[in-house]
Structure 1
Amino acid sequence: MEKDLSILTERQREVYFLRQQGLTCKCIGEELHLSVSAVSLHLRNAQRRFRQYQAFQEEKKRDGQTVAFSISRIELALIIEGLVLLGEKMHREIGGRNIRSDWQGRMPYRALAADALLTRAQLALYGKVIHTGILE
């Protein structure tokens, strides 16, 4: 599996690319004017980012699987109410900034899922969107 180098910092990409070409940490350090320990640190951080990214992608895929779950209209209305409150809480926590999620989870991936669920639940119950989304 080819790794997505765009998730790395510029320096991590440089170090990783040179290492993939077979250069030693010492040679990489000399070429980039870094200590051997700095090169090793960049490589460890790059590997950690790859692992985090892979785990995020697997979680996203798993979380995207549908489940069969019967629910009444009142239960759906309660879920909508809870999602609206969750959205308000998220906005308070981040100071009202526009929230987005990235692979590092700087903003909870659950915000994206909650936003999509709020929209779908309202369309199913009311036939239209009444409450703006969590990410609005």
Structure 2
Amino acid sequence: MKAIGFSPPPTKWKGSCQASNFTCNNKLIGAKFYPPLHNELTSKDIEASRDSRGHGTHTTSTVAGNSISMASMLGLAQGTARGGVPSARVAVYKVCWFEGCNEAGILAAFDDAIKDGVDIISVSIGGKDSTKIICFKDAL
């Protein structure tokens, strides 16, 4: 699936897409996950880079979401909503699960993001409610 208005990822991009129930495209150009130590998954976890609680999706749309006209909160304050940099490419590195975050996975995700060619890293992490590290790649 091609993201509308986006050319293929830059040639310097070296990442991969570990996708489950979604596909990467020219906007979402990479996805990886780092399972918890000792395989401490719960029945609520999705053993994949896919978001299971909405935190990663929310964080991604806040930073890189496309413009949406006629947006409002219960009909109030109608206008255009958009992320901070709608033209950004996105690579997701999931390191947190329902029972917490794997410190070794966090460090591995930073290492992988740098090797993959990520330009800007935005981290949203902490406690049992976090499910993603989101890394954003400048649109070229």
Larger proportion of helix: 1
Q: Structure 2 length normalisation: TM-score?
A: 0.21
Say which structure, 1 or 2, has more relative contact order (CA 8 Å, 6+ apart): 2
Larger proportion of strand: 2
Q: Structure 1 length normalisation: TM-score?
A: 0.22
